[in-house]
Amino acid sequence: MKLCSACLLGIRCRYDGKILGTKEEVLELLKKEILIPVCPEQLGGLPTPREAAETTGDGNNVLKGREKVITKNCQDITFNFIRGAEEVLRIVQLLGIREAIMKQKSPSCGCDKIPDGTFSGKIVKGDGVTTALLRKNGIKIISEEELY
């Protein structure tokens, strides 16, 4: 059993309300394993659709209170991202999950690649808030790009 970013399974949870489109590799894995879909941003209380958001730094620094999660219109939604990450961790712990497939380039789920915080489309090295919390708690993170 693995955790999986819900958007990778075609669940309408992206910030813009669009369906990402299921990844063939994720669907193939679904035939062999149980994938538990989660959207940390929704679990943190944010609606879909919602305003685009990016971290001002790495998810680890957000968890330490050194950085924030800000919407394009400068609303601080750090609390929602941290709460969502904590809820995902709770699910992982309740179900005994040890691995998670996360959506790359997301301020929540990104693993090793996240938006740079300028809303310019530029990607930098770092983890999203949820990925950072899961790694901190010993969960193996796999990006959907690693399934190709």
Could you report the per-residue pLDDT of 67-116, keeping only the tens digit for each?
999 999 999 999 999 999 999 999 999 999 999 999 999 999 999 999 99
> Based on the structure, what is the number of domains in the chain?
1
Across 1-148, where does the E strand assignment appear? 2-5, 35-38, 53-55, 69-71, 99-102, 114-115, 123-124, 140-143
pLDDT of residue 46: 98
- Tell me what percent of the residues of the chain surpass a pLDDT of 70: 98
The residue behind tokens 């770092």 is 126
pLDDT above 90 as % of the chain: 87
CA contacts within 13 A on the Cβ side of 15: 14
| Cα–Cα distance for residue pair 146/126, rounded to 1 Å | 16
CB neighbour burial string for 43-72, b if at least 16 within 10 angstroms, e if fewer: bbebeeebeebbbbbbbbbbbeeebbbbbe
Whether the pLDDT of residue 117 is over 70: the answer is yes
Reported as a single tens digit per residue, the pLDDT across 9-54 is 989 999 999 987 667 888 889 899 999 999 999 999 999 999 999 9
Say what the pLDDT of residue 24 is: 80
Residue appearing with tokens 């919390």: 133
Boundaries of domain holding 48:
2-147
Q: What pTM was estimated for this model as a whole?
A: 0.95
Contacts of residue 49, Cβ cutoff 8 Å, sequence gap at least 6: 14, 15, 16, 17
Which of 27, 3, 2, 1 lies closest to 108, judged by CA?
Answer: 3
Closest CA to 59 of 4, 9, 5, 106: 106
pLDDT at 36: 97
